[in-house]
Structures are given as C-alpha cells and as structure tokens.
Structure 1
Amino acid sequence: MNPSHGDMPLEELEKYTGSTPCPADFDIFWDKALEEMSAAAPEVELIPSDFVKVPFAECFDLYFTGVGGARIHAKYLRPKASPKPCPAVLKFHGYAWHSGDWHDKLNYVAMGFCVAALDCRGQGGTSEDTGCIKGPTLRGHIIRGINDSPEKMLFRQIYLDTAQLANIVMSFPEVDESYVCTTGESQGGALALVCAALEPRIAKAAPVHPYLSDFKRYWYLDAQDEIKEYFRFFDPMHLREKEIFNKLGYIDIQNLVKRIKAEVLFSTGLLDQVCPPSTQFAAYNKISAAKQMLLFHDYAHEYYPQLNDYIFKFICNI
C-alpha cells in the first residue's frame, strides 16, 4: 500500500495518532491486570532441551503458569559459565506462529546474552489457551472474548504473558535486570512494544512492522478480516460498532505505548498492506520515550535488507 495510493502521504503519517478510541478506564484496567499477574504463582520450570549440544550455550524449555492458570512455554538460552550477570533479549513471534528454532537465537548468546522466545498461548507453539468465554471466536484471537468482559479478551492474557516472561527472566541470577531488550516482527513487533509498556524496566525495544495497532483504521482500510467478518456475521448493521471498538481499545497497542520508558528502534515498510503504515505510525507517534523510525520506502510486510544487522547492533550496543 503506497502512502500515496490508499493510505497516507508520509507527511500525514508523521502526524497521525490513530482512530480507535481509548477507553476511559484504560489505565485502571491495565493496572488491575498487572496486579492479577503479580498475584499468580508462576511455578517456573526449566527443562534442559535435547537440542544439539552447543559449546557456548545452554538451552532449556521454560514453563510458567500465566493468568487464568494457562501453562506457558518459552525457549530459553543462556551463555555457559558467564562470570557476571548477562544482558537478555526477549523475542516474540508473528500471528499464529511459534517461537521458532533454537539456532536463530544463538547469535545473541554468542554475544553474551540470555535469550527467551515466547510461544503465545493458543497459537502455533505449545503454550496453553485455557480461557472460557462467551460468544464466538471465529478463526482468530483479535475478537476472541469480544462478547464477554474486556478482562476475558485473549490478547489481554497474551500481553500479560509477555510482562510475566520479562519478570521471570529478570529474576534469574544469571540475568542483568537493568539491560533486558525486546524484539519481534508483526504480532511479535506489537508484543515487543507491549512488553516494554507493561514492564517499565525494559531497556530497549526493536519492533518490526508491528501489528495490533489502531483496529478501527484496519477495518476502514479493509486490512483486517477478523473484525470485518465479525461485523458481517454478528452485527451487519453495526449497531454495536462503538461498543466493539471501545473493547478493542483495551488491547490496541497505540493506547499502551505511552507507558514505554525503553529506547525504541521502530521499523516500517511504506508499502505494507498487512499492517498499513498509518496503523504503525499511530503507535509510533504516541511513544514519548527516546525513539527512532527506520523507513523502508519500497517494501511491504516482508524481509527488510540490513534490518537484522541494525537491530543486532542496537541491542548489543555495537
């Protein structure tokens, strides 16, 4: 989606601050959610992985109990015999995917980092989805729980899982809690921002074309099938439109990013049709912490040349 053909020119993107409403009790909602998370017993378990032996790394399956009693999984890697606490990076995956293979985390371990990669509950990994809700779920998680209270929305629980993972990793004796970073692409980019918003000790966040921002804009641009199909099947005259978008406002990352204290390296492709640039700028423009936007003018929702090197240097301070 070229900014001059369907979305917005760059000069408008740089001023755009979103169209999805922010619920009046938004901060109270998330403060209570974090209290619920903190009150839960995480029951952390580290199980050595059967992944091939790596001379400089130890690999574990990490399990913890998230809100609602779901057992959550992450891959966890750490350097062998580090003489001092290590920095850490938390990695988050794209929508409906999983934490990926072990090998693509080893570059950070080789640089002396601990690495944790989350499996989002109910998606392609092994984390549980134990939520019991009213109403339909269709095929996706964005509208999962939309007919129940906002506390039952699945992405509320996934967002809390990111903060709980950060809290757990920061508690490990081998981790330097003052230097923990987040990164991810698409849904993973959104979760990198969410984690930094809900866990203020995060030092740096490197989101790539983040999803889950400005849901009303997604619908307006016909870029989000779940919301469109929800209205088609369950509210064809949009009698509940205001209510639905207000509920989605609780999990809209553009409303959460104002909490971020971390330094942010934000990357966007201006031809993105999956996460249109305006939805991403809606979040970026509300970040008040130190930030930088890398623009890939001729790229869509895809691999960006040289970007992984930029992120690696940003996180590793090299």
Structure 2
Amino acid sequence: MPLTDLSLAECLALSPALPEPADLDAFWAKTLAASPPAEPDFRLVDTGLPQVTTYDVTFAGHGGDPVRGWLRLPAGARQPLGCVVEFLGYGRGRGLAHEQLLWSAAGYAHLLMDTRGQGWSAAPGDTPDAGAVGGSVPGFLTRGAGGPAEHYYVRLITDAVRAVDAARAHPAVDPGRVVVTGISQGGGLALAVAALVPGLAGAMPDVPFLCDIRRGSVIAARPPYTEVAEYLRLHRDDAGALLDTLSYVDAAVLAPRATAPSLFSIAMMDDICPPSTCFAAYHRYGGPKDVRVYEYNGHEGGGAHHQRVQLDWLRSLLAS
C-alpha cells in the first residue's frame, strides 16, 4: 500500500490553522445544556462469563434520546475503578454482551457506547437516530447539512459526552479516573469529548476520523470523507454552508480545548483517515500528548501491537 498523503516529515512539520466558527464555544455550551442529564439505568445481564460483571446500560443522550451501551467490570476487583469509555468506528454497533473484554480483563471498568443509527457493519446496534432531518447522501457526514443544530454528529458527540456522565454515575467507577478512547470515528469522538468534558484523566484516539474534515474531503480515497465530495457534486452551491456546519464537529477544530493527557495513533498509509488530517488534531491538541506512528499500515493502524502500548500507557496514567 503506497503513501497517499504527505510524508512523515511533512506531517510532523504541519502547523494547521483551521477555520473556527466564532460561536463554537457558545454553540456547544448551549447544546449540552439543552440535553437532559444522562440518568443511566444499569441492568445486570448473564453473559456466562463469571470473571466479568456486565450491565446493559441505557442513558439519555442528545435531546433525551435513549442511548444503549455495555458496562463491564472485572468481577471481584477492588473499587472504585479507573474506567475506559469507548466509542465505536463507523458503521459499528455495540455488539453482544460477551464481546470486547480487553479493558475489563486489564482491571478497568469499561463502558462501550452504542452508536445511534449505526450497527450494520461487523456488530449490531440498538440505538436509532430519532433526530434525523433533511436530505443527505448515504452515510452521516451530510446528515443535517443545513446547519449545526441539525447535524448528526452534534447528536452523536452529545451522546458521547453523556456516556462519560453515565460511566461516572456508577458507584464502581472513580469519576476522576475516566479515559476516553476509540478507533476511527470513535477516535474523533474521543477527541471531541476530551475538548468538551472537564476533568478527564486521558484520551486515546486511534487513527481518528472527523479531523480537518475540509482537507479529508478532497484527499481521502475512500469513505466516509468522500461523502462530502459526493454531496457537493450534487449540491454545487452548498460547499460553504456544509463545510461551515462540519467545522462545529471537527475534532481538530475542537482539539485545542482539550487538557487531558493523550496517546494518539496515526498510520501513514491510511487512505480512509489520511495521516495529515490526524496530525492536524495531534498538533492542535491542547493537553500533554504522545503519538505512535505506524509508517507501513493503513486504516488498521497499530492493531494489537498498539493495544499493548495503550495498556502500558494506561497503567502508568491511572496508577494509584
């Protein structure tokens, strides 16, 4: 797989100045204030795995819409626990209750948020997108192109903020030791949450989507960024309005507001989330930051090798 973007040296030297809406902070303050508290409901489920205690979680997301998730706790662990709140990649749902045991096996609480309106790829979901309005091309980047208040990713980022609130509400979780993470779309959500939620212990975005969306829309070879180009191919006069709307949910635009320590992963042969877009978020990130670069990998990034890096980083970060 060849390089499809800038070289590593060029990416390391980037100094991106991204257009930022003048009312960005006011918009997000108003949006989050308008959504009700998470008020999570935790229902114990039998997974057949005696070493993991699992709850089916429902909490109020954007506009009070019910959002689903799984909360997994290592059975018998001393509490309160550090917690990993995880957001999913594009198209994925929360899957089945007995899946995705890495973080609970490592001794952490793990809240996995379902993704509204998704769940057709690899893992099923249980959360509809009740707020969809207006026309779009297939996918989510143009769903709600008329303005930020209507946009899909405003709803999804709000859900992700409330997922952190839900995790902090469980008595087994130490609210001061919550880390957000995710791959691709999940990585972009982790960055947005790190920018919008105070007091997080850390963030681990992997090959993040939703970063420098303007650039991604003109250089990415594969979806989802290509959805923007497909929409504008049909709506030729709407580029300014759509790109302005997308700047409200761009994780690289939001990144300077983040203060929690972070560990990024970026793949230099990624043709889905081009490395220059990920580096835009990395360079603009406001808190302490580290990055692992996988020069010969595509969108799979560091895979299990990077998980081992994350385990070591997280153990050091949350040591008590």
Alignment-derived partner of residue 240 in structure 1: 238
Structural RMSD (CA): 1.9
Q: Is residue 313 from structure 1 mapped to residue 309 from structure 2 by the alignment?
A: no
Q: Distance in 2 between matches of 1:150 and 1:83?
A: 43
Q: Choose 11-20 or 123-132, whichever is displaced more.
A: 11-20
Alignment-derived partner of residue 29 in structure 1: 27
Alignment of 1:285-300 (within 5 A): 285-300=283-298
Q: Distance in 1 between matches of 2:136 and 2:151?
A: 10
Alignment TM-score, normalising by the size of structure 2: 0.90
Q: Distance in 2 between matches of 1:100 and 1:211?
A: 21
- Any stretches of 5+ residues in structure 1 without a counterpart? none
3-state DSSP class of the match of 1:282?
helix
Deviation at 1:213, TM superposition (A): 0.8
3-state DSSP class of the match of 1:161?
helix
- Could you tell me whether the CA contact under 8 Å between 2:71 and 2:110 is conserved in 1? yes
Deviation at 1:185, TM superposition (A): 0.8
Alignment-derived partner of residue 197 in structure 1: 195
Query: What is the aligned residue count?
Result: 308
Deviation at 1:20, TM superposition (A): 5.1
1:120-174: CA deviation from partner (whole Å, max 9, x where unpaired)? 11111111211142x3122111111012x31111100100111111011112211
In structure 2, the CA distance between the partners of 1:56 and 1:13, relative to structure 1 (3 Å rule), is same
Alignment of 1:147-296 (within 5 A): 147=146, 149-223=147-221, 224-235=225-236, 239-296=237-294
3-state DSSP class of the match of 2:248?
helix
- Could you tell me whether the CA contact under 8 Å between 2:136 and 2:231 is conserved in 1? no
Deviation at 1:192, TM superposition (A): 1.6
Q: Distance in 1 between matches of 2:314 and 2:212?
A: 27
1:87-138: CA deviation from partner (whole Å, max 9, x where unpaired)? 11111111011124444543322333111001111111111211142x3122
Q: Distance in 2 between matches of 1:247 and 1:210?
A: 19
Q: Is residue 140 from structure 1 mapped to residue 135 from structure 2 by the alignment?
A: no
Q: Choose 117-126 or 65-74, whichever is displaced more.
A: 65-74
Q: Is residue 97 from structure 1 mapped to residue 96 from structure 2 by the alignment?
A: no
1:159-215: CA deviation from partner (whole Å, max 9, x where unpaired)? 011111101111221111111111111111111212222212211111110001111
Alignment-derived partner of residue 115 in structure 1: 110
Deviation at 1:83, TM superposition (A): 3.9
- Could you tell me whether the CA contact under 8 Å between 1:111 and 1:316 is conserved in 2? no
1:4-42: CA deviation from partner (whole Å, max 9, x where unpaired)? xx52222321232447521111111111122123xx143
Identity within the alignment, % = 31
Aligned amino acid, residue 63 of structure 1: T
Q: Distance in 2 between matches of 1:155 and 1:95?
A: 12
3-state DSSP class of the match of 1:285?
helix
Q: Distance in 2 between matches of 1:84 and 1:207?
A: 26
Aligned amino acid, residue 255 of structure 2: V
Alignment-derived partner of residue 122 in structure 2: none
Deviation at 1:73, TM superposition (A): 0.4
3-state DSSP class of the match of 2:284?
coil
In structure 2, the CA distance between the partners of 1:296 and 1:191, relative to structure 1 (3 Å rule), is same
- Could you tell me whether the CA contact under 8 Å between 1:44 and 1:65 is conserved in 2? yes
Aligned amino acid, residue 126 of structure 1: D
3-state DSSP class of the match of 1:268?
strand
